[in-house]
Amino acid sequence: MSTVYTEVAVIGGGAAGMAAGLFSARAGARTLILERNEKLGRKLYITGKGRCNLTNDATLEEFLREVPEHPKFLYSALSFLSPQDTMRLVEDHGCPVKVERGRRVFPVSDKASDVTKAWQRALSEAGCEFRLNSRVTGISEEPEGGFRLTLPDGAVRAQCLVIATGGLSYPSTGSTGDGYAFAEQLRVPTQPRRPSLIPLLTADAWTGELQGLSLKNVRLTAARGKKTVYTELGEMLFTHDGISGPLALEMSCHLPQPLPDDLRVSIDLKPGLTDEQLRNRFQREIAEAGKRTLKTLMEALLPQRMGLLLLSVSGIDPAARLNQLTAAQRETLCGLLKAFPLAVFGTHPIAEAVVTRGGVDIRSLDPATMSVKGRDGLFFAGELIDVDAHTGGYNLQIAFSTGALAGHHAALRALASLNE
């Protein structure tokens, strides 16, 4: 079995690995990407529902606001390769992009494959080598410096190493968590893995009855005691076993896991009205059309299925006339409209998450280079690191930026060690 030598080896040819390979090769180091799949960037193909929301045309400050934990860790990486740099990079390599709602960036063709092709063109142009169908199964540190990687058909020796093997979500794309084992084997601390951007499970008796119903312009709130953990306006979706859609997914990034027993989640179905304004609206409806049924009023206020469910939860007869409602019943209805409770008790499994939280502990990495502090030539990049963001193109950009920074510095370190 043969042993190949390279100055920089990159394990994983996803978003972070391709960026690492490109910026290492551009910095002048002989670079080899090792990818277990039959092609590079397999996960990219399924991103953005096949359209690949590759980045967000945000400023640095705006971007960091979308990163719930440790945003400052990304400052250098995003300065090294900004969203605008990424847009230019793919455009310069044959993939024009467009900016959509929320400054989400997509290829003009709406084809995720065009984004991967652009990165591949850039890799070829820079002279970066890659080997497909090459799963790294072990890493050891060489006594004289550098690393030895074990593959089924041989070994690779590298002066510097970038590990960019992704997280644990959608394992069919190749991200099966190998990098966590490598990190632990190399004595690099990691944080427990948890799903993020993930649909939530509810235990309400009516769960599933609203399946497929999307609510727009509502406010979703999660609280513990008096502390609000998350509150945001937007759109959400009921599923067969709970809630999903933009608000629910984003909320999942902010929840402690496992979910605590004192977590309270509610929907404000009328966020445009204060409690007072809602009560006045009821009074007005009663004064103007007291003979209308409650069901008719709810249908005017809410999507039909939501209105009927709210009445069923309130225990008030939908056929009751507005002028028959007691003050207590009006209060119950106003209360439910402003804070409809959801018994959220868990999340879907990590394999179904858009991203994996946890992973390589950021405290063990130098944010200016992505290298492991106090260790020579060892770098991490992408989703494998304990940093993640909301939806909107931010997660791919984090992978591109951390990968680019790691690749660049791995190359500089490898080239410097040649002269030592």
Please report, as ranges, the residues that interact with ligand FAD according to CB under 6 A: 11-17, 34-37, 42-43, 46-48, 52-53, 135-136, 164-166, 169-170, 173-175, 178, 354-355, 382-384, 393-396, 399
Q: Residue 46 Cβ, how far from ligand FAD at the closest point, in Å?
A: 5
Smallest distance, Å, CB 133 to ligand FAD?
Answer: 9
Q: Residue 172, Cβ neighbours under 10 Å: how many?
A: 10
d(CA 76, CA 254): 24
Shortest distance in whole angstroms from residue 264 CB to ligand FAD: 29
The total number of residues shown for the chain amounts to 420
**Long-range residue pairs from 332-338, CB within 8 A, at least 24 positions apart, any chain:** 333/282, 333/294, 334/275, 334/278, 334/279, 334/282, 336/269, 336/310, 337/268, 337/269, 337/270, 337/278, 337/301, 337/302, 337/310, 338/268, 338/269, 338/270, 338/275, 338/278
Nearest distance in Å: CB 369, ligand FAD? 17
Q: Which is nearer to ligand FAD, 136 or 301 (CB)?
A: 136
Q: From the CB of 79, what's the least distance to ligand FAD, in Å?
A: 19
Helix (H, G, I), strand (E, B) or coil at 49: helix
In angstroms, give the least distance from the CB of 403 to ligand FAD: 7
Q: State the nearest-atom distance from the C-beta of 22 to ligand FAD, in Å.
A: 13
Nearest approach, Cβ of residue 166 and ligand FAD (Å): 2
Q: How far is the CB of 229 from ligand FAD (least distance, A)?
A: 23
Cβ–Cβ contacts within 10 Å for residue 1, how many? 8
State which residue, 174 or 242, has the beta carbon closest to ligand FAD: 174
Calpha distance 157→332 (Å, rounded): 69
Residue closer to ligand FAD, measured from CB, 185 or 214: 185
CB-CB contact of 378 with 8 (8 Å): no
Place of tokens 């937007």: 234
Q: Which is nearer to ligand FAD, 120 or 395 (CB)?
A: 395
Distance, in Å, from the CA atom of 16 to the CA atom of 141, rounded to the nearest integer, reads 23
In angstroms, the first-to-last Cα distance of the chain is 30
Q: Smaller CB distance to ligand FAD: residue 13 or 242?
A: 13
Of 74 and 136, CB closest to ligand FAD: 136
Say what the alpha-carbon torsion angle 272, 278, 284, 285 is, to the nearest 10 degrees.
90
Question: How far, in Å, CA of 85 to CA of 82, rounded?
Answer: 5
d(CA 375, CA 24): 19
Query: What's the token pair of residue 187?
Result: 């004595």
**160: three-class secondary structure by DSSP:** strand
Both tokens assigned to 347: 């999340």
User: Least CB distance from residue 88 to ligand FAD, whole Å?
Assistant: 17
Task: Compute the distance between CA of residue 340 and CA of residue 352 in angstroms, rounded to an integer.
Answer: 27
